[in-house]
Amino acid sequence: MMGGAGRPAGAPEAAELEERLLPLAAPGIGDVDGGGGRRRGKWEKTYLDVLGVCCSAEVALVERLLAPIDGVRAVTVVVPSRTVIVEHDPAAVSQSRIVKALNKAGLEASVRAYGSSGVVGRWPSPYILASGALLLASFLAPLLPPLRWLALAAACAGAPPMLLRAFAAATRLALDINVLMVVAVAGAAALGDYAEAGAIVFLFTTAEWLETLACAKAGAGMSSLMSTIPPRVVLAGTGEVVSLRDVKVGAVVAVRAGEVVPIDGVVVDGQSEVDESSLTGESFPVPKQPPSEVWAGTINLDGYIAVRTTALAENSTVAKMERLVEAAQNSRSKTQRLIDSCSKYYTPAVVALAASVALVPLLLGAQDMKRWFQLALVLLVSACPCALVLSTPVATFCALLRAARMGVLIKGGDILESLGGIRVAAFDKTGTITKGEFSIDGFHVVGDKAEMSQLLYWVSSIESKSSHPMAAALVEYAQSKSVQPNPEKVTEFRIYPGEGIYGEINGRHVYIGNRRIMARSSCQTVSEIDGVNVASIGYVVCDGDLVGSFSLSDDCRTGAAEAIRELRSMGIKSVMLTGDSRSAAMRAQEQLGGAMEELHSELLPADKVGLVGDLKGRDGPTLMVGDGLNDAPALAMADVGVTMGLSGSAAAMETSHATLMSSDILRVPAAVRLGRRARRTIAANLAASVAAKAAVAALAVAWRPVLWAAVLADVGTCLLVVLHSMTLLREPGTARRGSRKEDEACRATARSLAMRSQLAGASSTATASAGAPGGGTNGCHCCQKPTSRSFEQAHSVVIDIPAASSAGHQELQVPRTAAANGNAGGCCSTGRACGASTVTSGTRAPRKCCARKEDGSRVSVNTACCSNGGGSRDSPKKTGQGCRDARCCSGGT
């Protein structure tokens, strides 16, 4: 597996954090811990909600409190979400002991329950309520002077948590916001400004509470990806209910309708639709049948399936995703490291300045010493750089969550910042720009040294050992010719990246690949395939002689051309890097409408690395998108390497800096836009933080020091930074977003129809749909709503979808205007997916569906009734809104 060379600065830190967060090969009970010879149990991770963590200053405090405890192995603090992750031995130290250690310092820690997403909706503490009530009552002091003492009581009532944290920090020689606030409150009380002292405590505690709620809300959707996974599962064979952790690889578990898939696996029985939005960001249901893959965290919508597990619970895709998100949130970007370094000197410098402002005038015998003391206290409050320190990590946190929600895993803040500066995007062709689903256009025997059946047997047997998309096409082609591969007969199998493969079978030395493999095999003969000038061409060499050749074709992904156009609109240059032939590259360029600005073909992995380096030097920061083993070196070389997640190779995913969890290449420009927004948000946060500090200091010097205003500016700026960063969680541009969702719904409709046709064995439907006039890159165009029911019934075309059983077949009636616009995929007047995309291929339609007609075994369902069908982001229940019977759109029979 390729290493991570070429990652941005900070990647070693991210890798270290990721390694800490990944599940360790836990020693069993009774294993010896190498530290001191003591026997250890199994390590486990405990998630804690710690409200007292408001900025990075508390990170050191938490680590100093927990690190000395025997049995604690690692402590990780996620500041933006107020989360502490402790890896410990439960036999040596309990969760309650860890919580007690943190609460002694007033950090308000609690264990996060399974399925909980944090502290959203928490009421203010009694300290805040008591302080606020007493401070409010003190405002009546002009009417009753003794009430002024209630302001001092308000300061005392709200101070205990702050005092505990300040004491814990002071005893460990740490200078944080709590210490500074305690000094400020004491100073205000000493000067007789009781109302100001009470206001400081109330404003500080209230702002901290609001900031905690905002942070918790920001991370509520992704704070625990594993929270949706059921803790217990049902074994399909026996019906026994067992713990998820006890499920072994190869076990068969039952997943009923409405349940969450508990573990990664392969469907072995049943048929259903699965919502994979938790992984891919696309909520449109995906049909599943044997042997489809399913992943933990996805939702089984409308049928029963039995799943044979392919991974343990702790190694499932969603578990890896959660650990990567945690590691990314804890890795500090270059900007954050710079701010943290400056803050180490900023606080002591401002404290020294405040002490000088108080002491120098006193030594010089200056008049109005109260004003000088107040000015010193204002500077002391301004000495805490909380807003400045939070400006980068909170924005990064929110951007990473937004990326994860839309199906893009970004491995750290440095990569996020690099995404915002991309100037050129390089794309691999096979499996990235194209679908990676090859079809054999021709297979030819060259010479008389082998028969066709023997040649197909050699090729299919050797290709069965390869994971390349071309291999699957060759094996399937051989099987269609009644030739069964036998990979057990293959010995000395080797892969030559960028060239092809080699294997020995029945004593023959066989090479399969492109022109380069012929040079390796010492074969000089080249065969040209007649009539094929725009396809990928492969050769078969046996014992040094060319014995066969074949041609393959592959189509571009839906949305590939649109993605490249979006990148161009952002000023980003697009380049194709492929190891395939020039004719194959030109064929892809034609399908893209000439969108690529540069084409580079017949490249070895080393050539791709060199070209990526040239692009970085010539055009600026470079993005590389790939999916295969051949792309791993180039992905590592690029400023940002992006791999096509679930379909990509393990080496590419390991080496890349970001992962697309779906095959939607439109996520690439979306990720770049997100990176640019994150950079702008961080810049605005930094400017607001610095401006607030400068404004308070200037006001104090020019007019008069107002201590409560300084506190309000400090904690208020912190809250403002958090709220501004939370804008990254939503997509800007309502109109553009609506249009994009309609396009996604249209594409999802076409994909769903094709997959349903495959489930029903009706591949002709997809062909007919794709061949409809006006079909565009997106797979379908959206039609206008007919003006009347009579028009709908009288003007329609019929698409036959054979039923899964022999009882008959079903017809879907689509308005003729839809067919005229290439809308056989089933788009309605609003541009959203309608019933054509979701009606199952049974023999009977639900009653009360619009324009329902029966003719013997033929059932017609007029999908035009779905004038307000749900889009790809809607749930199945919403899909049928606008129908007389929602079931005719929701796909239920």
Are the CB atoms for 105 and 161 separated by under 8 Å?
no
Are the CB atoms for 749 and 827 separated by under 8 Å?
yes
- Residue 846 is classified by DSSP as P
126 Cβ neighbours under 8 A, 6+ residues apart:
none
The Cα 54–Cα 56 span in angstroms is: 7
Angle at the Cα of 806 (from 801 to 808), degrees rounded to 5?
50
Question: Looking at 428, 554, 664, 874, which residue is catalytic?
Answer: 428
Are the CB atoms for 415 and 8 separated by under 8 Å?
yes
552 Cβ neighbours under 8 A, 6+ residues apart:
438, 439, 440, 441, 470, 473, 535, 536, 537, 538
Are the CB atoms for 628 and 644 separated by under 8 Å?
no
Angle at the Cα of 320 (from 316 to 321), degrees rounded to 5?
115
The Cα 196–Cα 135 span in angstroms is: 10
DSSP 812-842: EEEEHHHHHTT-TTTB-TTSSB-GGGT--S-
519 Cβ neighbours under 8 A, 6+ residues apart:
none
The Cα 225–Cα 228 span in angstroms is: 7
Are the CB atoms for 507 and 498 separated by under 8 Å?
no
SS (H, E, C) 678-708: HHHHHHHHHHHHHHHHHHHHHHHHHCCCCHH
Q: Which residues of 812-845 are buried (b: 16+ CB within 10 A; e: fewer)?
A: bbbbbbbbebbbbbbbbbbbbbbbbbbbbbbbeb
Are the CB atoms for 445 and 455 separated by under 8 Å?
yes
- Residue 800 annotated as catalytic: no
Question: Residue 352 corresponds to which amino acid?
Answer: A
Partners of 546 in the β-ladder? 541
Burial class (CB in 10 A: 0-12, 13-18, 19+), 19: exposed
Centroid of chain to Cα 810: 39
By annotation, the residues acting in catalysis are 428
